[in-house]
Structure 1
Amino acid sequence: MKVIVLGAGIIGVTTAYQLAKAGHEVTVIDRQPGPALETSFANAGEVSFGYCSPWAAPGIPMKALKWVFMEHAPLILRPKLDWTMISWMLRMLSNCTSSRYAINKSRMLQLADYSRTAFADLRAETGIDYDHRMQGTLQLFRTQQQLDASGKDVKALAADGIPYEVLDRDACLAVEPALRHVSDKFVGGLLTPKDETGDCFKFTNSLAEKAAALGVKFRYNTGVNGLDIEGGKVRGVICEQERIAADKVVVALGSYTPLLLKRYGIALPVYPVKGYSLTLPIVDASRAPESTVMDETYKIAITRLGDRIRVGGMAEISGYTNDLGQARKRTLAHSVTDLFPGGDMDQATFWSGLRPMTPDGTPVIGPTKIDGLYLNTGHGTLGWTMSTGSALVISDLVSGRKPQIDATDLAVSRYG
C-alpha cells in the first residue's frame, strides 16, 4: 500500500521506518528542510521507560498553586481567552484523581515497556550511534517529603514489572559519583536502571537514512494544506503545490495535529506544552553526570550526551509560541549549576520546543472515524521513549494485523 506519514520528527520517522519494513511504499512529508528540526531537535535526551508518569496526578492542582510563587517553577501558566486551552486544562484536572492516575500510568507503562524491547531490537538491527548510554535514570529527591511521595510511582512500577531501586544518599553517590560535591542537597533517589540516554536529533537523522535505504521517500520543505477525503475515506494529501495520492495516511504532526484534524470533525485533545533546554560543553568531567539525573524539585532532567550536558524540562502552557524567556533559562542554569557545575555556561545554547500533550498523559495512537486515517501523536515529553512501540502499533494496524499489545484505549475514540 501507499502510505503517507505527515511529520519527520522522531515519531514520524520511526513510523515510516516500521511501515517500510512491513512492505509498504512510504512517503514522509514535512515543512522543515530535514528531520527532527522541531520538538525532537534538542529535547532532554532521555529514553525513560521507567520514569513514565502522567502529569495529571493527585496533588498536582495544589502543587501548581504553590509553583505560581516559585522563582524556578516547573510549571508556568500564561492563561488566554482560548477555549481550546481552557477545555484542555479542565480535562487534565479531571484526570488528577487516584483512580484516573492508576489507569493512565498503567497504559503508559505498557506502551513504554513494549517500546523498551522494540527499541533494543531497532538499535541492534541498525547499529545507529547517537551518543547513547544505558545507565538508567536517577530521580533525585531533595526532601524527605519527595522521597516518601514516590511510593505511588514505586507501586505502579512494581505492578507492571518495571525494574527499579529506591536509593539512600550513599547509593545515589555510587550511581552518580559527581553528586558527592553536593551530597548535602538531597536525601535519596529512585533509580530506573533500564532507562537510556542519547541525542534524539542524531538518532532521528540516522534512522531517516536507514528508512531512505528501505525506499522511504522524504519530501522536505513541503507544507500540507489539507487531506483529500472522499466518501469518508482518505485518498491522499493536498500539499502546497500538488496532491499526493495514498491508500493510508498517518498524521504525526505533534502539537499541530489537532489544527489539521479540526476541519474534518475530529476533536483531538492535544495541546502544546512548551519545554526548554540548555546544551553546554563539559569542562570538568568529575562534576558532570554519568547518565540522567531528574531533579524532582524543578522537574528538570540533566543528561550526559558525550562531551555535552543537556538540561531539559519545565512545562509552559502558553499556546503555540516558541519565544525564549530568559527566566526559563535561569531556571535551567540554576538546576544544573547547583548539582553539576561541570559545564561551560558561557557556551550554552538555549532552545524551546512544543510538546504535544494529552490531558491524560497517554498518547493517541490508532484509527480515526475517517477510513484510512491514523494518528500517532500526543506523546508529551515521552516521544522518543514511546516512539518504537507506537510505530509498531501503527504498522500493525495499517497492515491489518493485531498489535502485540492492547491498543484499544490508545485511539482517539477513548475521548468519546
Structure 2
Amino acid sequence: MKVIVLGSGVVGVTSAWYLAKAGHEVTVIDRQEGPALETSFANAGEVSFGYCSPWAAPGIPMKAVKWLMMEHAPLILRPKIDRAMLSWLVRMLRNCTSARYAVNKSRMLRIADYSRLSLAELRAETGIGYDERMQGTLQLFRTEAQLAGSVKDVKALNADGVPCELLDPEGCIRVEPALAHARDRIVGGLHTPLDETGDCFKFTNALAGLAAQKGVRFLWGETIRHLLSEGGRATGVVTDKATHRADAVVVCLGSHSPQLLRPLGLRLPVYPVKGYSLTLPITDAGRAPESTIMDESYKIAITRLGDRIRVGGMAEISGYNNRLEAPRRRTLEHSVTDLFPGGDLARGEFWSGLRPMTPDGTPVIGPTQVTGLYLNTGHGTLGWTMSCGSGRLLADLVSGRAPEIDARDLGISRYA
C-alpha cells in the first residue's frame, strides 16, 4: 500500500520506519530541510517510561494559580482571544479529577511501556546510537508536600507493573552522586529505573537514514496545503510543489495537525504548549547528572547527553509562537546551577519548541472517520518517550493487523 506520512519529527519518522517494515511504500513529507528540526530538535532528552503523567491532575487548578505568581514558574499562561485555546483549557480542567487522572495515566503508561519494549527491540535490531543511557529517572522532591503527593503516582505505577522506588535524600545521592552538595535542598525522590535518556535529534536522524535504506522516500522543503479526499476516503495531499496520491495518509504534524484536519470536519483538541531547553557543555563531570533528574518544584528535567547537559521544561500556553523569553532562560539556569553546576552557562544553547498537547494527556493514535486517514499526534511532552510504541501501533492499524496493545481508547473517537 502507498502511505504518505506528514511530518518528520520523531513520531513521523518512527511511523515511517514501522510502516516500511510492514511492507508499505512510504513517503514522508515535511516543510523543513531535514528530520527533527522543530519540536524534536532539542527536547529534554528524557525517555520517561515511568515518569509518565497527565498534566491534568487533581489539584492542578489550585497549583496553577500559585505557579502563576512564582518567579520561576513551571506554568506560564498568556491569555488571548483564541477559541481553540479556551476550548482546550476548559477540556483540560474537566480532566483534573481523580477518576479521569487514573484513566488517562493508565492509558499513557500502556503506550509508554510498549514503547520501552519497542525501542529496546529497535536498538538491538539496528545498533542505533544517540547518546543513550539506561540509568533511570529520579523525580526530585524539595518539599514534604511533594513527597506525600507522590503516593498516588506510586500506586499507579505499581498497578501497571512499572518498577519504582521512593528514596530518602541519601538514596537520591546514591543514584545521582553529584547531588551531594545539594543535600540540604532534598527531602526525597521517586526513582523509576527502567527510564532512559538520549538525544532525540540524533535518534530521529539516524532512524531516518535507516528508513531511507528500507526504501522510505523523504520529500524535504514541501509545505503541506491541504488533504485530498474523495467519497469519504483520503486519497493524498497537496503541497506547495506537487499533488501526491496515496492509499493512506498519516498525520504526524504535532501542534499543526488540527488546522489540516478541520476542513474535513475533524475536530482534534490538540494545542501547542511551548517548552524551553538549554544545552550546556559539561565542564565538571563530577557536578553533572548521570541520567535524568526531574526537579519537581519547577517541572524541569536535567539530563546527561554525552558531554552535554540538557535542561528542559516549563509549560507556556501562548499560542503558536517560538519566541525565546529571557525569564524562561533564567529559570532553566536557576534549576541547573542549584543542583548540577557542572555546565558552562556562557556557551549554553537556548531553544523553544511547541509540544502538541491533548487535554487528557494521552496522544491520539489510529484511524479517523475519513477512511484511509490516520493520526499519530498529541504526545505533548512525551513524544520521544512514546515514539517507537506509537509508530509500531500505528503501523499495525494501517496494515489491518490486530495491535499488540489495546488501542480502542486512543483514537480521536474518544472526543466524540
Establish whether TM, by shorter chain, passes 0.5: yes
Task: Give the drift of 1:399.
Answer: 0.5
Deviations 1:288-334 (Å, cap 9, x if unpaired)? Answer: 00000000000000000010000000000000010000000000000
Amino acid at match of 1:149: G
Task: Give the drift of 1:69.
Answer: 0.8
Q: Secondary structure at the match of 2:107?
A: helix
Task: Give the drift of 1:242.
Answer: 1.3
Q: Secondary structure at the match of 2:61?
A: helix
Amino acid at match of 1:244: H
Amino acid at match of 1:176: E
Amino acid at match of 2:110: Q
Partner Cα distance (2:253, 2:82) in 1: 21
Partner of 2:415 in structure 1? 415
Task: Give the drift of 1:228.
Answer: 1.1
Partner Cα distance (1:236, 1:69) in 2: 48
Write the mapping of 1:143-222 to structure 2, written as runs, cut at 5 A.
143-222=143-222
Q: Secondary structure at the match of 1:409?
A: coil
Task: Give the drift of 1:264.
Answer: 1.0
Give the alignment's Cα RMSD to 1 decimal: 0.5
- Please state if 1:286 is matched with 2:286: yes
Partner of 1:62 in structure 2? 62
Amino acid at match of 2:239: C
TM-score by length of 1: 1.00
Task: Give the drift of 1:2.
Answer: 0.2
- Please state if 1:325 is matched with 2:325: yes
Partner of 1:28 in structure 2? 28
Any gaps of 5 or more consecutive residues in structure 2? Answer: none
- Please state if 1:18 is matched with 2:25: no
Partner Cα distance (1:410, 1:134) in 2: 28
Q: What percent of counterpart residues are identical?
A: 72
Deviations 1:244-281 (Å, cap 9, x if unpaired)? Answer: 11000000000000011111110000000000000000
Partner of 1:296 in structure 2? 296
Task: Give the drift of 1:386.
Answer: 0.6
Partner Cα distance (2:20, 2:343) in 1: 41
Task: Give the drift of 1:43.
Answer: 0.1
Partner of 2:84 in structure 1? 84
Task: Give the drift of 1:126.
Answer: 1.2
Amino acid at match of 2:141: F
Any gaps of 5 or more consecutive residues in structure 1? Answer: none
> Which range moves more in the overlay, 117-126 or 28-37?
117-126
Task: Give the drift of 1:239.
Answer: 1.2
Amino acid at match of 1:127: G
- Please state if 1:234 is matched with 2:234: yes
Partner Cα distance (2:334, 2:375) in 1: 38
Task: Give the drift of 1:408.
Answer: 0.7
Amino acid at match of 1:266: L
TM-score by length of 2: 1.00
Q: Secondary structure at the match of 1:34?
A: coil
Amino acid at match of 1:91: R
- Please state if 1:6 is matched with 2:3: no
Task: Give the drift of 1:240.
Answer: 1.0
Partner Cα distance (1:195, 1:155) in 2: 18
Partner of 1:402 in structure 2? 402
Partner Cα distance (1:181, 1:246) in 2: 58
Task: Give the drift of 1:68.
Answer: 1.1
Partner Cα distance (2:398, 2:132) in 1: 31
Partner of 2:371 in structure 1? 371
Partner Cα distance (2:354, 2:403) in 1: 29
Task: Give the drift of 1:162.
Answer: 0.2
- Please state if 1:357 is matched with 2:349: no
Partner of 1:306 in structure 2? 306
Partner Cα distance (1:198, 1:116) in 2: 13
Partner of 1:103 in structure 2? 103
Partner Cα distance (1:72, 1:323) in 2: 18
Report how many residues are paired.
Answer: 416
